[in-house]
Structures are given as structure tokens and as C-alpha cells.
Chain A
């Protein structure tokens, strides 16, 4: 139906590096559902700028360390 967003991310990798944080824990920390975290990790949804910053800040990295534009 919808095309894949042209943005890839390292959310899953960073989540696993952070003490194997679960998708539900990440969702709770940034204010989205576990299903939305799954959609972000599978590149089916590009989060809002606010959520993107929340994710980056949670992992203590910059925005571009988490998200990158696919040319």
C-alpha cells in the first residue's frame, strides 16, 4: 500500500546495545506503542522529529547516528 520511507535507522542495534532494552520499554520511554517501535525498526514508519530526538537522546547519540537518508 504505502511505499517504504527513504530513511533507515539503527534503532534495533542501539536498543540491543543498551542492555537488551525491549521494544515495549523503548516505546514507553519515547511515548509510542510497541507496535510503532516495531514499525520503525522494520522501516515501515518514519517517526516524527520529536520522537526521533527522543530516541537519539535516550541512547545518548546524535540524530544522524540513529537515522540516515537512503539515496
Chain B
């Protein structure tokens, strides 16, 4: 498996784990008490730290296992893969942002707007990494 495909798997995992940890209390609070908890800086910091730690540890491990692959520059096919994945994932972010704005117009809830935009950001990043993996494995 190419080094950068492994990297995409790590980042997908990090985003999923971080996303679940971040949104689990929000969703459970909403479904339990029916009240949306306001976005808190400590939650956001915990999410960021979780993401960074998984990304750094994961990349150290895969680089140690294949140091030559890790040092190799991005080649023409990989550039194409990254460009295409980035292009399609930008639609996810765009649609997510539009839906978030619509949600805000309907609900007038700023906290909900924050969560919706943040979820769109995570979803678009996740889509980008998953598309990279898919393009690595198919014709491009």
C-alpha cells in the first residue's frame, strides 16, 4: 500500500474518532434533555489534540515501517489523485455550508449553525481522504 494511502487511512480514522468524541456529548445532550449544549472551547481543544496525536503517532509508525516511501516525493498520479479528491470534497463542504445556513434561517440557533458548519468541515475532510483511498485503488 502506498505511503500516502496509509496516511489517508490514518487521517480518516483520526477524523472519525475525533468527530465521534466531539459530537457524542452534543447529540446525547440534545436527544436526552432536548437542549443543544453551547460549543465549548475545551471540547474543541480536546478534539484538536485527539486529531493531532493520532495523526502524529500514526505517521511516525508508518514512516518508521517504510522510511524510503515516506521520503519519496509526490508523483504525477498522486498529484492527480489529490487534486480530484480535493475537488469533489469541496462540494461536500459547499453543500454542508449551504444546508447549515438554511438550518440557521429556519431555526435561528447560532449553536446549531456552529455544529452544522463544523460537521460539514469534518465531513468534507473525511470525504477527501476516503476519495483519495478510492482513487488509489481504481482507475484514474
Contact = CB atoms under 8 A, between A and B. Distances in A.
A1 B76 contact: no
Interface stretch (A11-19, A44-52, A55-63): A44-52
Contact of A48 (B76, B78, B139): B76
Contacts of A45: 77, 139-140
B127 to A, nearest CB: 13
Q: Give chain A's interface secondary structure class.
A: loop
Contacts of A36: 75-78
A33 B78 contact: yes
Interface size class of B (residues with CB under 8 A): 10 to 19
A32 B76 contact: yes
B134 interface: yes
Given A33-B72, A35-B2, A4 B139 contact: yes
A31 B74 CA distance: 10
Contacts of B75: 31-33, 36
B138 interface: yes
B114 interface: no
Interface of B: 2, 5, 69, 72, 75-78, 134-136, 138-140
Interface of A: 1-5, 31-33, 35-36, 39, 43-45, 47-48, 51
10 contacts: A2-B135, A32-B75, A33-B72, A33-B78, A35-B77, A36-B75, A36-B77, A36-B78, A44-B139, A45-B77
